[in-house]
């Protein structure tokens, strides 16, 4: 396990929920802090699934920071005040989501070209007492240099740290990293910085931390979702991989009331990222399964081939 820098689990919408976080922490570990997928406001209300995900009872015993996404100060205030009532003292603000339906509404990374809107958002957040903020962002939405007008605004909320994915939102997850631009960001930033983006191995972590030895930490997303033993290779066993799957499968079987079809869809979504290196034929059978019996047979075949 890597211990020189703090290691954060990136929020992946629809994947790194409290179910995944608890299973990963129990079976694999190696994470200094987990972030939740973002909360949001729709039609004036917080979503039930988001509220369930940040419920302290569902995150007991794991280091955890809830995340919000909003462009309207009133929406952000509603979520932060609710989280404060739940006892949270640290909240992450999402300025990084690249998903076009979100970004094109000036949310996530789509807010970065509009520093006046960021300023209004931060001013509202700064009025809420007893809360520490951190920020997750990209270099811009459609231009690498858009961070230059946003970074000076960070002093409004004095974030505990800023996580930077060194690419633009429009590139989504294509891997077009601009490390030279990140050099400029690091030189200008007075707050602790966490690196996020295209980390797939411990060698990648070593390379990044050697280039920027002042980094506060590393955040890992898709690679950790695919291989939960990334930080602890000694735990990369079929038994552990199976145990994580089984814990998540049991949760959905016990809690979803939409029948076999709903459970099947949830688990097929889980396998969109989980164990991408596993047997291709079995993964295809999981994706095409039309019943729980066929799904379980495909999963058994996959684990037998690991």
For 171-185, write each residue's pLDDT tens digit.
Answer: 998 878 999 999 999
Q: Does the pLDDT value for residue 2 go beyond 60?
A: no
Buried b (16+ CB within 10 A) or exposed e, 170-189: bbeeeeeebeebbeebbeeb
Q: Side by side, which strands form the sheet with 33-35?
A: 64-65, 33-35, 6-9, 217-220, 193-196, 162-168, 132-140, 90-95, 67-68
Q: What distance in Å separates the CA atoms of residue 240 and residue 28, rounded to the nearest whole number?
A: 8
The confidence score (pLDDT) of residue 147 equals: 98
Distance CA 129, CA 209 (A): 34
Q: pTM of the full predicted structure?
A: 0.95
pLDDT of amino acid 154? 98
CB 1 within 8 A of CB 225: no
Identify the three-state secondary structure at position 137. Answer: strand
Which residues in 144-290 belong to E strands, given as ranges?
A: 162-168, 193-196, 217-220
Nearest to 303 by CA among 271, 274, 279, 268: 279
Strands 217-220 and 132-140: unpaired
Chain segment 174-218, per-residue pLDDT in tens? 878 999 999 999 999 999 999 999 999 999 999 999 999 999 999
What confidence tens digit (pLDDT) does each residue in 16-47 have?
Answer: 999 999 999 999 999 999 999 999 999 999 99
| Per-residue model confidence (pLDDT) at position 175 | 78
Instruction: Show Cβ contacts of residue 51 under 8 Å, excluding neighbours closer than 6 positions.
Output: 39, 82
Which pLDDT score is estimated for 170? 96
Q: How far apart are CA 266 and CA 151, in angstroms?
A: 38
Average pLDDT score over residue span 136-156: 98
């Amino acid at each position: 396990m890597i211990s020189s820098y703090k290691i954060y689990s990136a929020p992946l919408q629809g994947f790194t929920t409290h179910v995944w976080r608890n299973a990963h922490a129990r079976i694999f570990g190696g994470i200094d802090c987990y972030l939740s997928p973002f909360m949001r406001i729709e039609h004036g209300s917080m979503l039930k699934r988001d509220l369930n995900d940040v419920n302290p009872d569902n995150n007991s015993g794991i280091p955890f920071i809830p995340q919000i996404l909003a462009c309207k100060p009133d929406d952000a205030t509603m979520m932060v005040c609710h989280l404060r009532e739940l006892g949270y003292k640290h909240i992450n603000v999402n300025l990084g989501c690249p998903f076009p339906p979100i970004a094109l509404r000036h949310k996530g990374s789509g807010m970065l070209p509009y520093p006046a809107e960021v300023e209004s958002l931060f001013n509202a957040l700064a009025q809420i007492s007893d809360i520490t903020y951190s920020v997750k962002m990209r270099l811009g939405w459609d231009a690498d240099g858009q961070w230059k007008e946003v970074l000076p605004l960070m002093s409004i909320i004095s974030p505990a740290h800023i996580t930077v994915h060194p690419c633009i939102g429009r590139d989504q997850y294509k891997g077009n990293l601009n490390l030279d631009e990140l050099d400029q960001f690091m030189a200008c930033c007075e707050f602790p910085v966490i690196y996020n983006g295209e980390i797939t191995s411990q060698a990648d972590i070593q390379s990044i931390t050697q280039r920027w030895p002042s980094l506060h930490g590393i955040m890992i997303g898709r690679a950790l979702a695919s291989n939960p033993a990334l930080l602890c290779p000694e735990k990369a066993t079929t038994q552990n991989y199976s145990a994580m799957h089984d814990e998540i499968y049991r949760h959905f079987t016990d809690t979803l009331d939409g029948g076999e079809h709903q459970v099947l869809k949830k688990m097929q979504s889980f396998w969109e990222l989980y164990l991408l290196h596993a047997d291709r034929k079995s993964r295809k059978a999981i994706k095409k399964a039309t019943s729980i019996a066929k799904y379980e047979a495909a999963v058994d075949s996959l684990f037998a081939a690991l």
